[in-house]
Amino acid sequence: KQITNIYLNYFPNVTHLTIKHYFQTSDDSIITTLKSIIPLVQLTKLTIESDDFSLEEIIELLRFIPNLYALRLNFLSNKETNAKLIKQNEKFQYVSKINKIKNLDLCQCCSLNQIQLIVNLFPQLEYLKTCMNRKEIGQIIKYLLSKTNNKTQHLFFLCISQIPKICLKELNVLIKLENLLNDYSIKFINSDLYLWW
């Protein structure tokens, strides 16, 4: 959908924003359009329900929203396959240093590579909710709970969505066998597994 670059209603007190559909502006700057509508710097919660935003566009947007506390994404694009190059990107590094995101909710299945990218981009993360490929759950849990991983030092709550109940037992065994956590709770509610420590 095309949005003309005119000043729409300005909402000076907004703190939450939901983007339901991807949109293009006349100058191809979503940020410019959003800035004319709301003060991005005061946003604390952002939900992007569109699957059309690339990781680069999300990172670009996050550069202008330094006080964001909670982020919900329907989709994290797999187009950017080289995670090393992305992590070395100047904008990625900047957003990683300035963002305050503590709560991340991803409505898609994440691979280990995507989780590693997420952890590097959001080092203040405390709460993570996502789906995971069942074959990679063990590797992802070991990565997230590794005592040597200082990138996940703030993380204390994990929700794995849409997994079979047997994963509760498997995860419990893994945590005890690998001595990943001493004091933790784990629950399975409505196809979601909750782990906190």
Residue 184, domain CATH: 3.80.10
Q: Which domain holds residue 13?
A: 2-196
Is the per-residue pLDDT at 7 higher than 90?
no
Note the pLDDT tens digit of each residue in 98-133. Answer: 999 999 999 989 999 999 999 999 999 999 999 998
Q: Are 101 and 125 in contact (CB under 8 A)?
A: yes
pLDDT-derived band at 146 (thresholds 50, 70, 90) equals very high
pLDDT above 80: residue 86? no
Closest CA to 174 of 149, 195, 152: 195
The token pair that represents 196 in the structure block: 């906190």
pTM, 2 dp? 0.87
Domains identified in the chain, total number: 1
